[in-house]
Structure 1
Amino acid sequence: MLTDAEADLLAFAAFPRRHGRQIWSTNPLERVNKEIKRRTDVVGVFPTRPRCCAFPEPC
């Protein structure tokens, strides 16, 4: 399976060298995860599906 996906797995190697730092960095992913955690902490409680469906559709 890895051999079949070799072109996809190594696609980053075709980018110009100056992009290497951004490609290898996990900072964007970490930033997204941190933002999700922050927003989750702000909201605190998420409604369950039955509770969401209890409200009528807006007109």
Structure 2
Amino acid sequence: MLGKRAEIGLKRKIDADQWDCIKGRGKDRSEEIRNLIPIRSRSEPNFYSATANLSKRTK
């Protein structure tokens, strides 16, 4: 069965020149980037958990 893609956002924005696409995180240590780090750290495990739950349901 083919899966479906979902995009999830945190309703936070930074300038494109401050984003490292390869690493998937902010480049520099500006205050703006430092404020995003804890938000992302808290949210990321929830995304992985949701993905795992969806995988189990489709099997």
TM range (shorter): 0.3 to 0.5
Q: Which has the higher helix share?
A: 1
Q: Which has the higher strand share?
A: 2
Q: TM-score, normalised by structure 2?
A: 0.40
Task: Determine which structure has more spread, i.e. the larger CA radius of gyration.
Answer: 1
Q: TM-score, normalised by structure 1?
A: 0.40
